[in-house]
């Protein structure tokens, strides 16, 4: 049962990262690809039909955590209080920015909300990466069931750690660049004209930078949590997910060279999904790794909730999952046409 619910939690978080990741990246690139008001409006039009539906997966992940692993949620929520509120404010403000920017036909009003969208999206791409870095590195779990996290301590990933250190910042930067590249792939797929060309050029450059950062973070992980690589080698499922990520890289390079925009976007999603799934497989069964004493780490088996509620939830979860996937398929099917930005006078 612990394996199943860990897999469900990991699946919802990975789907959220891949789906909401492209609109985080696209939003953060608002000014990089949108040189005019019409082009920035086209960026919002590209992500508009998807962003609110994508965030459902984050709510679903929170629900799974609350249902299946309430002790993990109870221990982690107070410690990550500041980070969670930063995430909440960024989610709220970027949603407001997309909804209200066109309500007033004033250049200063629209530029202000475009900046909010860019900053909110970029910060979310960075913060979720930092959060992943904290999960992989571990937290200062001691003798009690709770722990605290300062914003940073001595900036090292061992002992009494904080939210930020050189490892979590590195993972955050990798996440930031990777999601920007994913967003650029989405904009290349969804737009045409000069906007598409800029997004296509940025996509290639960002993935090159992301590849370099991935090598750095992999080397850092070998120092911070060397046992994860041993777990990767022992688990065939991790090999499959790693192969998916590698196939995404190869497929994506070929598709980008042939200007197959939809295939390039799918390959980008495969790279992100494969890497995150391989990471989750290596982490299992540990949910909260202790940087003070690994023996005090919290595992999925230890944190699992009462079995009756989990058995009832297994009846409803596939139904909810099917509904969410159906909505996602409908949204992509209904928005297949590329978006072309037009001068303001033609609107």
pLDDT computed for residue 346 by the predictor? 40
Q: Do 301 and 7 meet the contact criterion of CB atoms below 8 Å apart? A: no
Q: Is the pLDDT of residue 77 over 90?
A: no
pLDDT computed for residue 74 by the predictor? 87
Of 207, 198, 182, 203, the residue nearest 47 (C-alpha): 182
Q: Which sign does the torsion angle of CA 174, 177, 180, 182 carry?
A: negative
Q: 82 pLDDT band (50/70/90 cuts)?
A: confident
Q: Do 92 and 52 meet the contact criterion of CB atoms below 8 Å apart? A: no
pTM across the whole model: 0.93
- Average confidence (pLDDT) over 120-130: 95
Q: Do 129 and 175 meet the contact criterion of CB atoms below 8 Å apart? A: yes
pLDDT computed for residue 342 by the predictor? 59
Name the DSSP letter for residue 337. S
Domains in the chain: boundaries: 2-346
134-143 per-position pLDDT tens digit: 999 999 988 7
Q: Do 132 and 14 meet the contact criterion of CB atoms below 8 Å apart? A: no
Compute the mean pLDDT over every residue in the chain, rounded to the nearest whole number.
91
- Average confidence (pLDDT) over 202-207: 95
Instruction: Tell me the DSSP string of 212-236.
Output: HHHHHHHHHHHHH-THHHHHHHH-H
pLDDT computed for residue 117 by the predictor? 95
- Average confidence (pLDDT) over 182-209: 94
Q: Which residue has the tokens 């994508």?
A: 54
pLDDT computed for residue 347 by the predictor? 37
13-47 per-position pLDDT tens digit: 999 999 999 999 999 999 999 989 889 999 999 99
pLDDT computed for residue 153 by the predictor? 86
Residue 49's SS3 state is coil
Instruction: Tell me the DSSP string of 128-189.
Output: HHHHHHHHHH-B---SSS-----SBSSS-SSSS--SB-HHHHHHHHHHHHHHHHHHHHHHHH
272-298 per-position pLDDT tens digit: 999 999 999 999 999 999 999 888 899
Host H or E run for residue 127? helix 107-137
Neighbours of 212 (CB within 10 A): 12
- Name beta bridge partners: 298: 288
Q: Which tops the pLDDT comparison, 144 or 178?
A: 178
CA 12 from centre of chain: 11
314-347 per-position pLDDT tens digit: 888 889 899 999 999 999 999 888 888 755 434 3
- Name beta bridge partners: 191: 339
Q: Which residue has the tokens 């070929």?
A: 254
């Amino acid at each position: 049962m612990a394996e199943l619910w860990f897999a469900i939690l990991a699946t919802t978080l990975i789907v959220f990262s891949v789906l909401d990741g492209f609109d985080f990246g696209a939003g953060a690139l608002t000014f990089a690809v949108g040189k005019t008001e019409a082009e920035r409006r086209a960026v919002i039009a590209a992500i508009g039909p998807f962003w609110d539906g994508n965030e459902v997966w984050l709510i679903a992940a929170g629900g799974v955590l609350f249902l299946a692993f309430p002790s993990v949620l109870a221990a982690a929520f107070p410690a990550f209080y500041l980070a969670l509120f930063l995430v909440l404010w960024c989610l709220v403000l970027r949603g407001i920015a997309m909804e209200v920017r066109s309500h007033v036909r004033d250049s200063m009003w629209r530029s202000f909300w475009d900046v909010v969208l860019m900053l909110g999206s970029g910060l979310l791409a960075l913060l979720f990466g930092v959060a992943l870095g904290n999960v992989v590195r571990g937290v200062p779990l001691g003798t009690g069931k709770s722990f605290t996290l300062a914003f940073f301590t001595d900036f090292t990933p061992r002992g009494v750690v904080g939210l930020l250190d050189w490892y979590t910042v590195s993972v955050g930067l990798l996440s930031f660049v990777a999601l920007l590249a994913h967003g650029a792939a989405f904009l290349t797929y969804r737009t045409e004209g000069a906007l598409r060309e800029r997004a296509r050029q940025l996509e290639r450059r960002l993935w090159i930078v992301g590849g370099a950062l991935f090598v750095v973070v992999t080397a850092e992980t070998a120092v911070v949590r060397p046992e994860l690589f041993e777990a990767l080698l022992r688990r065939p499922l991790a090999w499959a997910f790693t192969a998916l990520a590698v196939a995404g890289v190869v497929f994506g390079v070929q598709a980008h060279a042939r200007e197959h925009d939809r295939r390039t976007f799918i390959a980008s999603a495969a790279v992100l999904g494969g890497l995150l799934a391989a990471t989750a497989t290596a982490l299992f069964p540990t949910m909260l790794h202790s940087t003070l004493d690994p023996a005090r780490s919290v595992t999925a088996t230890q944190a699992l909730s009462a079995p009756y509620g989990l058995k009832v939830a297994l009846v409803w979860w596939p139904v909810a999952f099917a509904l969410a996937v159906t909505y996602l398929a409908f949204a992509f099917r209904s928005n297949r046409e590329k978006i072309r930005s037009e001068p303001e006078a033609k609107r």
